[in-house]
Amino acid sequence: MLLSSILKSNGAASAASIPFEACRVTDPPKLSRFGFLPRSVCVGIIPYYTPACDGPRTVSAYAVPRDYHIFVRAAAERIADDFGAAFPGERIRVCGDNSPIDEADAAARAGLGVIGRNRLLITPEHSSFVFIFEAFSTLPPEREAVEPGRCLDCGRCAEACPAAFGDPEGCLSALTQTKGELSPGQEELIRRNRSVWGCDVCQLVCPYTERARRNGTLYSTDPWFLEDNIACPDPELIRDGQRFRERAYSWRGPGPILRNLALLGEGGGKE
């Protein structure tokens, strides 16, 4: 059995294993906590866009389903069990959005997609609406890494950006997650775009997204992502501790999203 097969049987739509040395380490301390030096990284992708994302919404598409970290944690346990049974004596560590490497770069080097001007991984089947996770292990890689490909460079993402394209400090998605007071101009940007968390504009106008929609491959088919979709959270949800903890925006605390809801005239206020 290949490690990529184990990832696919536990939720990955596609997966590929490449040499660890081909990956770009961005957080050495996280790597040191593994307790072993990986020989390979098996990168998997999970599509998350659902039909609920097509209607009115005030949060980014990735935040419409329940927090995908919950999905990855459960998958990591299953992967570890399957791995232990298939490869006794070998070591493994599964990461998702908490990785010591540049995840999008590694996925592109694994041949799973290309890098867009917005620095996101764009896959041929699901466009950029995918989560990335990795299994670091002592197994040898299943394939050689490739040079990361680039998108069509059509410029649609830059033209459509409602804020300052390419500037992390000026990104609307980052702005909605900022704690504390905002300037009048920043408040107006949130009101005008009706976003209480995140922004998908650069992804939605992408020709890869249009193609995935035409081909019928844009949407997730995993039941986990199709249940409990909330496209427009309200203050009641944010103040419900149990329900709030199940959403992708809970890590930032209730303050920013309640502030943004208030800016849209939908209650909220300071927490």
**CA angle, 50 as apex, 212 and 248 as ends, to 5°?**
120
Q: What is the pLDDT of residue 1?
A: 73
User: pTM of the predicted model, to two decimals?
Assistant: 0.93
In the chain, what percentage of residues exceed pLDDT 70?
97
Q: What is the pLDDT of residue 270?
A: 58
Distances (CA, A) of 89 to 17, 85, 128, 235: 19, 10, 36, 49
Non-local (6+) Cβ contacts of 119 within 8 A are 104
Residues marked active site are found at 97
Mean pLDDT of the chain: 94
Predicted confidence band of residue 168 (pLDDT cuts 50, 70, 90) = low
Decide if 119 contacts 150 (C-beta within 8 A). Answer: no
Q: What is the pLDDT of residues 41-80, one digit of tens each?
A: 999 999 999 999 999 999 999 999 999 999 999 999 999 9
Average pLDDT for 129-149: 97
Average pLDDT for 110-134: 97
The closest alpha carbon to 196, from 245, 263, 129, 271, belongs to 263
